[in-house]
Amino acid sequence: MRKELVAASAEPLILSLLAEGDSYGYAILQEIRARSREEIQWTDGMLYPVLHRLEDNGWITSRWVEIENGRKRKYYSIRKGGLKALKTQREEWLAVHRVLTSFGGSAHV
């Protein structure tokens, strides 16, 4: 998949995933890889800046949770603003999807 498309889809995908429940960076990466059947391969370094930007936008929030042996993991949760942003972004992506699928015949070219 093209780099630009991967980058553009990062926000709605992260927000969609967090809308299902709290999660943390590594798990988000694994989940997206699995759900996309390895088609979407985010680099690890790409994910965290996006997560922090979403947090700066006030769409998600984070908290540190102790896991084991004093190790801590940063969990992210979606906020009300994030759900709103997700709804908007989802509608945009679906609109593109609708237009693309309307060219049904050319899809087989």
Partner 1 sequence: MFELERELRWWREAMSGAGHAPEILAELEEHLREDVERRARAGTSLPDAWIAARDQIGEPGALRREFARAGRVDLIGTLRAHQWKLLLCVGAGLLTASYFHLVRPATYQSEAKLFLRWSPPQSQPAAGDPVVRDGRRASLLQQEVEIMSSMDLAVRVAENLGAARILGGPGDVAHAAAAVRRGLTVSGAPHSSVVHASFHHPNAELVPIVLSEVLREYLRLRRLIPRESHLALPVEEQISNVSLIQTASPAFFDFNALVRLQIMPVLAGILAGVAWVMVSRSGRRPLRFARHA
Residues making contact with partner 1 (CB under 8 A): 25-26, 43-46, 48-50, 52-53, 56-59, 62-64, 71-74, 81
Comparison of 56 and 91: residue with beta carbon closer to partner 1? 56
* Rounded least distance, CB 46 to partner 1, Å: 6
Angle at 97 between CA 92 and CA 99, to 5 degrees: 100
* Rounded least distance, CB 99 to partner 1, Å: 27
CB 74 within 8 A of CB 64: yes
Comparison of 66 and 105: residue with beta carbon closer to partner 1? 66
CA distance 61 to 58: 7
Comparison of 16 and 81: residue with beta carbon closer to partner 1? 81
Q: Tell me the chain's radius of gyration from C-alpha atoms.
A: 16
Burial 86-108 (b: 16+ CB within 10 A, else e): beebeeeeeeeeeeeeeeeeeee
Comparison of 41 and 102: residue with beta carbon closer to partner 1? 41
* Rounded least distance, CB 70 to partner 1, Å: 10
